[in-house]
Amino acid sequence: MTAGAWLCLFAPLAGTLVITLGGARIPRDGAGWISTTSVFVAFAGAAWSFFGLRAHGSENGVVSTAWTWLQGGNFKVGLSVFVDPLSTMMMLIVSGVGGLIVLYSIGYMDGDDEERRYFAYMSLFVFSMLLLVEGGNLLLLLAGWGMVGLSSYLLIGFWHERESAVAAAKKAFVMNAFGDATMALALFILIVHTGSLSFASAFSNAPLLSSTTVNFVALGLLGGAVAKSAQFPLHTWLPDAMEGPTPVSALIHAATMVTAGVYLIARTHAIFEAARTIELIAAGTGALTLLMAGLIALVQTDIKRVIAYSTMSQIGYMFLGAGVGAYANGMFHLMTHAFFKALLFMAAGIVIHALSGEQDIRKMRGMAQALPWTRWAFLAGSLALVGLPPFSGFFSKDSIIAAALHDHWYGVILAVAALAGAFLTGLYTFRLYFIVFGRSDGPAPHTHGHGEGPRTMLLPVGILSVLAVIGGWIQFSPFWHPLTNWLEPAARTLGVAEPTNAQEAIASIAAVVLGLAGIGVAWALYGARRRSVPRLQLLQRALEHKFYFDELYDALFYKPAAAIANLSRRDVEEGFVLAAGPDIGETAFDAGRGVRRLQTGLLRTYVFFLGTGMAVLAIVFLLAK
């Protein structure tokens, strides 16, 4: 069982190493297959530990330590993996969906100049994420956390000759580093107060800590989660991250990285429950983000950016669910989201691929004729995203809304926000669908003849289409909920987040009706074009500027920093430091020129000075006597 977890963890790393060390000895297409195999081996390992865990019935989790990694006094950290229901579920999602995405990349990246580097990074990314979810203590989790940031940096900036890609990579890295820092601070506080970073001790000690301490710890963890999951206010890196190749976007959005925040909240729920205020702030952040991202998605014109904002919005739902205490529902949505979001990205990738890199949806109308299968796959993903029954999103999203409803007055506010988000989801998703696949008046855009792509691209899309449809059937509260039961030992849903049947029904009906309303509006505006899109200059401009967050951060952080840097360059560096060097040298030269005159080279003057010096010394000694 733990052997499966170790296999799962190190298979992708082995893939990276083989590709990296093999270098040019590996054929170009071989790298893709090595990477894919390594990730599917990881999936096999994950399945092994999943079934092992079920068979052994040790639901409280097993820690398997390879060796002591760090030791300082009483503080000890082992290189260990933690196998419990939560981590096995994440392992399955990460390696399963990740494997499909890597397989898809083989076709998508075919012919790129640096395929080997790409696949080495992909495996590394999956390894980092697996380290994050499997790490047997908080320090390993943080290590995985940082490595996910690194891998995302490498992959977002994969096309490094493109300036915007490099800028996006840096942005993602800096924002994530901010989250890493707050998380590290939280862990420091935890070490000081509990002397350990093991999950067991951290969680059993969390309720015993003073409320200030535990609030700070939870806040630090939340900072990390918010940065990694691209939630308000650290969300601006996610849309820019679309500069990476499309499968990378799929990997970041579906299997790895952005889901880490939700996982973190579920994993450290004991700490968040001890700091309930912070947990509710997490839920509020999720609600705010899902609304904001839904609104911004309405006006985006880049196909990948629309999907990126929808991810942000869906992660908002997960935060909301985890924040109100319905961890299982959050994780359930994470799973279904992984299916349909990977599907949407891959389908979008096929469109982009067919149009040789065109990403502007205004130039895409009428893709349905050219790419019939992709159209159906995209439709399935869109319906799952909007959450219509029987597609997977329906089961997971509505249970989150229902869970929020149960919790006091703020729960109602959160639920209303989530329902508004459901309307927006319908609107922006089908705006995208109707624009890209809707009927076209003019000539269809010119596709480049390679159809819908090679089989390696179509197979994962097919599998994910099926999963996007049926993936949600695993749990339909309140009738059956195996997932909640499975996760119960690891992250038990709070009592306040267990909705009544009536609430479930209200949430489901309201969400579906609103989702349908969104689709209807989208149909009227973009599908049938019965009505023209309303012109709201001010709002539209605000949305196109993504609520001016980039401008705000530019003014708040970048401009002052640049101003200080320029000032110190001009006044300190150029004015003082640079001028001081030659000045010192010049002074030394002057002194040297003066002293040089004494060195006449005439023996007689030396003797004279010697004698005079002796005489002076003698007189001084005599007088002093």
Q: Distance (Å, rounded) from C-alpha 46 to C-alpha 271?
A: 27
* Cβ at position 580, least distance to another protein in Å: 27
Whichever of 164 and 612 has its CB closer to another protein, that residue is 612
* Cβ at position 153, least distance to another protein in Å: 59
Residue with tokens 């399963």: 96
Whichever of 369 and 605 has its CB closer to another protein, that residue is 605
Of the candidates 222, 187, 193, 185, the residue with the CA atom closest to the CA atom of residue 210? 193
* Cβ at position 614, least distance to another protein in Å: 11
Whichever of 192 and 595 has its CB closer to another protein, that residue is 595
- Sign for the CA dihedral angle at 107, 109, 115, 118 comes to negative
* Cβ at position 588, least distance to another protein in Å: 15
Structure tokens of 234? 């650290």
Residue with tokens 């949407």: 344
Length of the chain in terms of residues written: 625
Whichever of 565 and 588 has its CB closer to another protein, that residue is 588
Whichever of 535 and 593 has its CB closer to another protein, that residue is 593
- Interface residues toward another protein, by CB under 8 A: 595-604, 607-608, 611
Q: Distance (Å, rounded) from C-alpha 277 to C-alpha 290?
A: 20
Whichever of 480 and 608 has its CB closer to another protein, that residue is 608
* Cβ at position 589, least distance to another protein in Å: 13
* Cβ at position 558, least distance to another protein in Å: 56
Whichever of 535 and 604 has its CB closer to another protein, that residue is 604
Structure tokens of 162? 């493109």
Whichever of 204 and 600 has its CB closer to another protein, that residue is 600
Pairing of strands 62-72, 75-83: antiparallel
* Cβ at position 616, least distance to another protein in Å: 15
Whichever of 538 and 602 has its CB closer to another protein, that residue is 602
- Compute the CA torsion angle 434, 438, 440, 445 (nearest 10 deg): 90
User: Please, which residues have CB within 8 angstroms of residue 319's CB and are 6 or more apart in sequence?
Assistant: 225, 229, 231, 261, 262, 265, 282, 283, 285, 286, 289, 330
* Cβ at position 593, least distance to another protein in Å: 9
Whichever of 57 and 601 has its CB closer to another protein, that residue is 601
- Sign for the CA dihedral angle at 52, 58, 63, 64 comes to negative
Structure tokens of 456? 């390696």
Whichever of 500 and 605 has its CB closer to another protein, that residue is 605
Show the 3-state SS of 34-84.
HHHHHHHHHHHHHHHHHHHHHHHCCCCCEEEEEEEEEEECCEEEEEEEEEC
* Cβ at position 591, least distance to another protein in Å: 13
What residue spans of 255-363 are helical by DSSP H? 260-267, 269-274, 276-297, 303-324, 327-354
- Crossing angle of helices 327-354/372-386, nearest 10°? 160
* Cβ at position 564, least distance to another protein in Å: 48
* Cβ at position 619, least distance to another protein in Å: 15
Distance of alpha carbon 403 from the chain centroid: 25
Rounded to 5 degrees, what are φ and ψ at 78? -100, 155
